[in-house]
Amino acid sequence: MDQFTLSEAEWRKKLSPEQYHVLREAGTEPAFSGRYDNNKADGVYRCAGCANPLFDSADKYESGSGWPSFTQPIAPDQVTEHSDVSLGMTRTEARCARCDGHLGHVFPDGPPPTGLRYCMNSLSLDFRARTVESRGEAVA
């Protein structure tokens, strides 16, 4: 996968201040405040920083946590996982594999088939509804 890198000045120009805080400074939006928490539309969630496809709506579920939650990434190599001890506890941070943007955290309390909850910030995501082309292939 080609890496997507920008200078800090370029990131600040590209992203809103809130998106910059989440994606580049590992911030977290308040629970139940994100635009995608209750989104039920069919499509693909991409990285708001670089448009890397991250999650399919088929893997989204209502976790009750206040953040969009998924059972798995769209493909294993689209999201990287890292140890996060920033709040005095050990958590697993999820980042975009293409631009290294902070997405959220992964917890081992999700439903089958993975038992995982990819708890993501809406500010780190860009949802694109799935459309059907004339060939009959689904694209987002």
3-state SS track over 45-63 = EEECCCCCEEEEHHHEECC
Out of 50, 96, 99, 119, the active site residue is 119
Which residue's structure tokens are 């448009």? 51
For the question of residue 119 being annotated catalytic, the response is: yes
How many residues does the structure list for the chain? 140
Q: Which residues pair with 95 in a beta bridge?
A: 80, 102
Catalytic residues: 119
